[in-house]
Amino acid sequence: MKEYIFQIAKQAREVSYRVGTASTEQKNQALRAMARRIRERAKDILRANTQDVEIFDQTGKSQALRDRLLLTEGRIEAMARGIEEIVALPDPVGSGNYITTRPNGLRIERIRVPLGVIAMIYEARPNVTADAAALCLKSGNVAILRGGREALHSNLAIMQAIREGLEEAGFPVTSVQYIERTEHEVVDDMLQLVGLIDLVIPRGGESLIRSVTEKSKIPVIKHDKGVCHVYVDATAERTKAESIVINAKCQRPSVCNAAETLLLHEAYPYRREMIQALVDHGVKVIADEVIRQDFPDVQAATEEDWYTEYLDYTISVKVVASVEEAIWHINTYGSHHSDAIVSESYGAIQKFLTGVDSAAVYANASTRFTDGGEFGLGAEIGISTQKLHARGPMGLESLTTEKWLVYGDGHIR
């Protein structure tokens, strides 16, 4: 098993220098061919997916998971179109923003180069296979992919199309490899291959991310949970406040940028109306004692609630005395993902934007916008909740590192 994954990683490292120096046009040709092959092989991919879904149905797992696994003609077309959108994105490789000539005449540049070999570990959604392959290739990286066991047939069918696309454009098929063996130990062994793999990106549930982070000797970029807040200031306009809170909570409660906690300034005049609006939208409210004076039927919040990501039509609500208290609460209990203030006060907004230590901080907008596409980065490989290397939506640039080029004429020190 060790030998199996070692060979995959070694082959990846070997082709990485070739893929890393391919021109944007060469990479785009491969991406276009991949998209075309996915369309051509749509029937095969659907057939493989049916196999996966049939096996899944025997397990009696949740319908939500089944929906993530399921492919349709429309979803395969979206996969192909997703790759074509990546063709249209600018290539970060070779770009730079630091050029200087030193007093001694040395000319120094810092340019973006691929990271090298990226391993991506994900769960049920087969479309991640196409997304990750395309994002890694466009940024000049070699990919090692490992999807969920339940999507194995679908992923292998997609990989077949990807390989055909790579070959058509003259890239080695080992530019994108898939770990076909489903044992857990293969991943554990892979996470030890320092020097062969440059970055591991786990994408999925909390337990997957924790397990990868704890075991990996290779650098990991985490996509952790989102305990996101909306703070409604004393000066907030009622319509903006209610529509932002309802949108942040209800538009898609199962995602990481949905709101989990509402903080209300004690002087905000429409407190009762806000709670009522949430209840009217079918949201279960869990609140502090101040709210419960007006709504005695509401469940009392415990300390644990302030840390909780419900991922459901549930929200915790707390009344605070000031913007400072709101900031303190968010920095203490939040997950530093996405947090919003609704306010008409310039001072309160400035304090909030400066004071909240999160990847994305919003003034008068829903937390739901934290997304590579919405932020203008194009397709994203995930949303980083850590501070090092990449924070927030990760576009192509996050899949590169830097290199210093120094031009001299016999310079010595």
Q: Rounded to whole angstroms, what are the CA distances from 229 to 180, 247, 304, 367?
A: 40, 12, 15, 8
From candidates 360, 379, 381, 396, binder to a copy of itself by CB under 8 A: 360
Find out whether 368 and 248 touch, Cβ atoms under 8 Å: yes
* Cα 221 to Cα 240: distance, rounded to the nearest angstrom: 35
Look at residue 219 and give its three-state secondary structure: coil
* Cα 264 to Cα 256: distance, rounded to the nearest angstrom: 21
Residue 407 lies near a copy of itself (rule: CB under 8 A): yes
**φ/ψ of residue 177, rounded to 5:** -120, 150
Residue 331 lies near a copy of itself (rule: CB under 8 A): yes
Residue 359 lies near a copy of itself (rule: CB under 8 A): yes
The tokens for 287 are: 């609140």
Using CA atoms in the order 138, 141, 144, 146, what is the torsion angle rounded to 10 degrees? -50
Look at residue 316 and give its three-state secondary structure: strand
Q: Which of 312, 25, 355 is nearest to 170 (CA)?
A: 25
From candidates 151, 370, 381, 385, binder to a copy of itself by CB under 8 A: 370
The tokens for 312 are: 């459901």
- Residue 276 beta carbon to a copy of itself: minimum distance, rounded to whole angstroms: 19
Cβ distance to a copy of itself smaller for residue 103 or 296: 103
Please, which of residues 175-204 interact with a copy of itself by CB under 8 A? 198-199
Q: Which of 87, 91, 95, 81 is nearest to 29 (CA)?
A: 87
Contacts of 197 (CB under 8 A, 6+ apart): 9, 12, 13, 117, 118, 119, 144, 190, 218
Q: Which of 293, 287, 281, 237 is nearest to 263 (CA)?
A: 287
Q: Give the DSSP letter of residue 303.
A: G
- Residue 360 beta carbon to a copy of itself: minimum distance, rounded to whole angstroms: 4
Number of residues that bind a copy of itself (CB under 8 A): 66
- Residue 56 beta carbon to a copy of itself: minimum distance, rounded to whole angstroms: 30
Paired strand residues for 24: none
Q: Which stretch binds a copy of itself (CB under 8 A): 127-135, 143-151, 184-192, 367-375?
A: 367-375
* Cα 316 to Cα 139: distance, rounded to the nearest angstrom: 41
Please, which of residues 75-134 interact with a copy of itself by CB under 8 A? 97, 100, 102, 106, 108, 110, 113, 115-116
Cβ distance to a copy of itself smaller for residue 273 or 294: 273
Residue 376 lies near a copy of itself (rule: CB under 8 A): yes
- Residue 335 beta carbon to a copy of itself: minimum distance, rounded to whole angstroms: 10
Cβ distance to a copy of itself smaller for residue 21 or 59: 21
Cβ distance to a copy of itself smaller for residue 80 or 360: 360
Residue 64 lies near a copy of itself (rule: CB under 8 A): no
Residue 386 lies near a copy of itself (rule: CB under 8 A): yes
Q: Which stretch binds a copy of itself (CB under 8 A): 53-61, 78-86, 172-180, 243-251?
A: 243-251
Cβ distance to a copy of itself smaller for residue 155 or 370: 370
From candidates 192, 243, 314, 322, binder to a copy of itself by CB under 8 A: 243
Q: Which stretch binds a copy of itself (CB under 8 A): 31-39, 63-71, 183-191, 354-362?
A: 354-362
Paired strand residues for 122: 203
Q: Which residues bind a copy of itself (CB under 8 A)?
A: 17, 20-21, 97, 100, 102, 106, 108, 110, 113, 115-116, 198-199, 219, 221, 237, 239-240, 243-244, 246-248, 251, 327, 331, 353-355, 357-366, 368-370, 374-376, 386-389, 391-393, 401-413
